[in-house]
Chain A
């Protein structure tokens, strides 16, 4: 049988998705009661009064909830999911606003009605009186701190932290060359095409709660709901249906609705469902990216960085449920594949009266890569040397791996690169994009009156963070294999890659393998799907579990075949003695034998009954054994594994309109061993598309009162296929990770990380004007040209 690990097989789930057979949250619970939320229209206001009287005579109204209806732990603020010592002023919202609202879209009241139309009708009739307060919008306003988001948070500073190695001040003071840069990245949002949603059913008889949610963590949500509703964990089940994209926004949990809907289902004894609409998603979910950075860099005549001092300001929005993960990631991942002689980074994480900020695909890395790569380009410009050469000069070399910076990563563990070959990656990229021959391209274009530019950007991405994931593999008596892992799936192709792993480990056809993810009934211990960790974490755990099952299958089969375990192999679902045709037993039969029976239910099971098998002098199940052919195992890494990649882009800018066109986009990517190259390339395509959006189109247009003015797909410019490069040239390096049994690294976020950096580099190269802020629109480029001309 050919090996499936590494084979670019098509995704097994695509047929379902492409034929409309997938089941998303809103496909469920048609008879459920519907929910509509009353949300704050103000960015900052005191709640004066909520008058529901006008809504009470709406036909079909079932219930209205405000803060006063919340009891026990539900009346307390939402969990602060990831505490950190630097987060000295962490604040979270209430499930329904208590006496203050801090961003447009914050939920104030929840209506439950017979259907969504009626729920909306009733919500419209609820009159909420506010006393508007001045809003803090944008990082500059937060830093000025002449207005506060939370009265008890001085300076609007939620967290401040510094990490460093070496003596940066001394390194900068003695550096032959120095530069200062101010670099900005604007706010954006991941906008998955399926918005948030939750359905809950309460079984009054058994006192059990069953929840379906479009979440990136079934187990995390389960724990949060159990705690907030005062239920035992075993009485709460969370199931994730098909999920139409997560990109980080759905790792936040519990969303207010994920508590309020189960609460209502329990109180009313009927299924209740909430489906977020697009307008709500823009103002009631989460955003990311907005940061301002100041860089002081010192370097030698060859461009080698001797000292790097970065100060940055992170806008985390109104509350901090996800802690300071993003600024930590920026602080550490900013370094990329480079090893500055000394490094110091300090950030302030600031409150603003805008939607909360939580990780969005890339999660602080796009900003970090932007800062580092802009710095590299600035050094090259200052010294008049090739941009690729400056990068090469600063690379960590393969023989320096593992490379430990002495800093702490987002998982609380050392920032220690496990493997990677950055010079080889760059070599491949230069070839792929035609770096060395580009001056000829530029000249040819110039002769035609066209303006082109090339840029490149490198990154290193810590993937597969812990604490752990688990896998369960069970061989049915039919020979079919059931695989379960607790983390969730939102489009990654887990049904394909996890099955590929198991098919190889067990020697069974992939068509016999079924994979279930994100269902606490099937696997109750898990963390979640984020930080490009699924293949690393669950992939490894499932491989280990499959090996346990294989070991048992061979042991049971050896007994049945009266052969030595070492002489057995499993091919196409059959255990056989090597070199002895005919001496074989199907895995399904092994499964029958592994479970000693008193009662037969069919012909196959007769083989496992008490008068047929077993040594009468021994217990049917040995002391250290258990019935059934199944295995469970966990994978818990010492620390993250670090993937890397480099992107290059060639752009053309219109001399008149400043329109920016992509001529060529090239990616060299190293995520260790590839389980399925097709899926990895798909992840890169999707990431690049999202990165194009982030670099050239998408932003959150808040006005100074904190109103989001582009809260729809009419005005928030998600790129269409027409804006995404037609062909993306991809090459891979496979530098295995030594940290996990499969040698894999994560790939989910890679495509989006260097986008802002690589486009800035290319546009700057085409235009000869400094690009210090992203995203950039044609109008902004036009303005840059004008101010650049004026300055001359």
Chain B
């Protein structure tokens, strides 16, 4: 599936660039992220616990960031597998400054496989929208100095600014550079 979208983060482009490359910020912002460790230049090992309805499980895989043009653009390749299925995605991310804020736009080509692939886009779409909102809100909070409350998505959610609507897709992955977190970042209750 091919997805494109954009989000506005309330910080100058250099700070956004830095935040999107900071594993600590990302690990706390990606819902459900259990592990995010550097494993060589531009490469990370990641584990997220995630799921859609009856297909929840833990996904592990690698994320590679490449073609970095500082404060301008980068690309991500992510591959992960878990019990419910597999995910492979290529994402192109572009940053631009707009009135002191940063517009992050992205397009992604994702392959969702296995059981989760067969459950249908209908379920995924809803999840992705919510997860994307949460991720961007969390990164924005980190940038604007609002306290993050650890790994408690509900609390984070409550403090987040009014949700913005993003198009469905691998939003977070695209924007943050970690598509895994986007798709699998939160259990649906």
Point out residues on A near B: beta carbons under 8 Å: 39, 41-43, 104, 124, 127, 132, 279, 282-283, 703, 705, 707-712, 714-715
Q: Report the bound CA distance from A279 to B57 in whole Å.
A: 17
> Would you give the 0/1 interface string for B73-88, flagging 1 where the beta carbon is closer than 8 Å to chain A?
0000000010101101
A41 touching B120, Cβ below 8 Å = no
A707 touching B120, Cβ below 8 Å = no
Could you jot down 27 A-B contacts, CB within 8 Å?
A: A39-B114, A41-B85, A41-B114, A41-B115, A42-B113, A124-B57, A127-B81, A132-B88, A279-B115, A283-B118, A703-B1, A703-B111, A705-B111, A705-B113, A707-B111, A707-B112, A709-B118, A709-B120, A710-B120, A711-B118, A711-B119, A711-B120, A712-B118, A712-B119, A714-B119, A714-B120, A714-B122
Contacts of B117 in A (CB 8 A): 41, 104, 703, 707-709, 711
> Would you give the 0/1 interface string for B99-125, flagging 1 where the beta carbon is closer than 8 Å to chain A?
000000000000111110111111000
Q: Report the bound CA distance from A127 to B58 in whole Å.
A: 13
Contacts of B122 in A (CB 8 A): 714-715
Contacts of A708 in B (CB 8 A): 117-118
A251 to B: closest C-beta gap in Å: 24
A41 touching B113, Cβ below 8 Å = yes
Q: Report the bound CA distance from A39 to B119 in whole Å.
A: 16
A442 to B: closest C-beta gap in Å: 38
Task: Beyond the given A104-B118, A279-B115, please list 7 additional residue pairs across the A-B interface where CB-CB is below 8 A.
Answer: A39-B114, A104-B113, A282-B118, A709-B118, A712-B119, A712-B120, A714-B119
A103 to B: closest C-beta gap in Å: 11
Contacts of B118 in A (CB 8 A): 104, 279, 282-283, 707-712
One of B86, B115, B120 near A42 (C-beta < 8 A): B86
B114 touching A104, Cβ below 8 Å = yes
Residue ID in chain A nearest B88 by CB atoms: A132
> Would you give the 0/1 interface string for B112-152, flagging 1 where the beta carbon is closer than 8 Å to chain A?
11110111111000000000000000000000000000000
Contacts of B115 in A (CB 8 A): 41, 279
Q: Report the bound CA distance from A39 to B113 in whole Å.
A: 11
Q: Report the bound CA distance from A188 to B113 in whole Å.
A: 20
- Given known contacts A41-B81, A42-B86, A124-B83, A709 and B121 CB-to-CB distance under 8 angstroms: yes
Contacts of A124 in B (CB 8 A): 57, 83
Q: Report the bound CA distance from A705 to B87 in whole Å.
A: 11
B59 to A: closest C-beta gap in Å: 12
Q: Report the bound CA distance from A507 to B45 in whole Å.
A: 78
A36 to B: closest C-beta gap in Å: 11
B46 to A: closest C-beta gap in Å: 16
Number of interface residues of B (CB under 8 A): 18
Point out residues on B near A: beta carbons under 8 Å: 1, 57, 81, 83, 85-86, 88, 111-115, 117-122
8 A-B pairs closest in CB distance: A711-B118, A41-B114, A707-B117, A41-B113, A124-B83, A715-B120, A705-B111, A41-B86
Q: Report the bound CA distance from A711 to B84 in whole Å.
A: 13
Q: Report the bound CA distance from A707 to B1 in whole Å.
A: 10
B113 touching A707, Cβ below 8 Å = yes
Contacts of A715 in B (CB 8 A): 120, 122
Q: Report the bound CA distance from A611 to B113 in whole Å.
A: 78
Q: Report the bound CA distance from A104 to B120 in whole Å.
A: 15
Q: Report the bound CA distance from A282 to B85 in whole Å.
A: 15
B51 to A: closest C-beta gap in Å: 13
Most B C-beta atoms less than 10 A away, residue of A39, A703, A711: A703
A126 to B: closest C-beta gap in Å: 10
Residue ID in chain B nearest A703 by CB atoms: B1
Q: Report the bound CA distance from A705 to B85 in whole Å.
A: 14
B107 to A: closest C-beta gap in Å: 16
Q: Report the bound CA distance from A41 to B119 in whole Å.
A: 13
Q: Report the bound CA distance from A132 to B122 in whole Å.
A: 26
Q: Report the bound CA distance from A49 to B39 in whole Å.
A: 22
Contacts of A705 in B (CB 8 A): 111, 113
B110 to A: closest C-beta gap in Å: 9
Most B C-beta atoms less than 10 A away, residue of A43, A104, A283: A104
A601 to B: closest C-beta gap in Å: 59
Q: Report the bound CA distance from A299 to B120 in whole Å.
A: 47
B120 to A: closest C-beta gap in Å: 4
Residue ID in chain B nearest A282 by CB atoms: B118
Residue ID in chain B nearest A121 by CB atoms: B83
Q: Report the bound CA distance from A429 to B85 in whole Å.
A: 51
Contacts of B112 in A (CB 8 A): 707
Q: Report the bound CA distance from A117 to B168 in whole Å.
A: 34
Q: Report the bound CA distance from A124 to B88 in whole Å.
A: 19
A133 to B: closest C-beta gap in Å: 12
Q: Report the bound CA distance from A744 to B92 in whole Å.
A: 65
A191 to B: closest C-beta gap in Å: 13
Contacts of B88 in A (CB 8 A): 132
Q: Report the bound CA distance from A374 to B121 in whole Å.
A: 34
Residue ID in chain A nearest B85 by CB atoms: A41
B54 to A: closest C-beta gap in Å: 10
A354 to B: closest C-beta gap in Å: 13
Q: Report the bound CA distance from A127 to B86 in whole Å.
A: 12
Contacts of A283 in B (CB 8 A): 118
A47 to B: closest C-beta gap in Å: 14
Residue ID in chain B nearest A129 by CB atoms: B81
Residue ID in chain B nearest A39 by CB atoms: B114
Q: Report the bound CA distance from A59 to B81 in whole Å.
A: 24
B76 to A: closest C-beta gap in Å: 17
Contacts of A707 in B (CB 8 A): 111-113, 117-118
A447 to B: closest C-beta gap in Å: 40
Residue ID in chain B nearest A278 by CB atoms: B118
Contacts of B57 in A (CB 8 A): 124
Q: Report the bound CA distance from A705 to B2 in whole Å.
A: 12
B53 to A: closest C-beta gap in Å: 10
Q: Report the bound CA distance from A712 to B119 in whole Å.
A: 6
Q: Report the bound CA distance from A132 to B114 in whole Å.
A: 13
Contacts of B121 in A (CB 8 A): 709
B4 to A: closest C-beta gap in Å: 17
Residue ID in chain A nearest B117 by CB atoms: A707
Q: Report the bound CA distance from A707 to B114 in whole Å.
A: 7
Contacts of B81 in A (CB 8 A): 41, 127
B85 to A: closest C-beta gap in Å: 5
Residue ID in chain A nearest B124 by CB atoms: A709
Q: Report the bound CA distance from A279 to B88 in whole Å.
A: 21
B111 to A: closest C-beta gap in Å: 4
B45 to A: closest C-beta gap in Å: 15
B86 to A: closest C-beta gap in Å: 4
Q: Report the bound CA distance from A283 to B118 in whole Å.
A: 9
Residue ID in chain A nearest B110 by CB atoms: A705
Q: Report the bound CA distance from A714 to B83 in whole Å.
A: 21
Q: Report the bound CA distance from A39 to B81 in whole Å.
A: 13
Contacts of B113 in A (CB 8 A): 41-43, 104, 705, 707
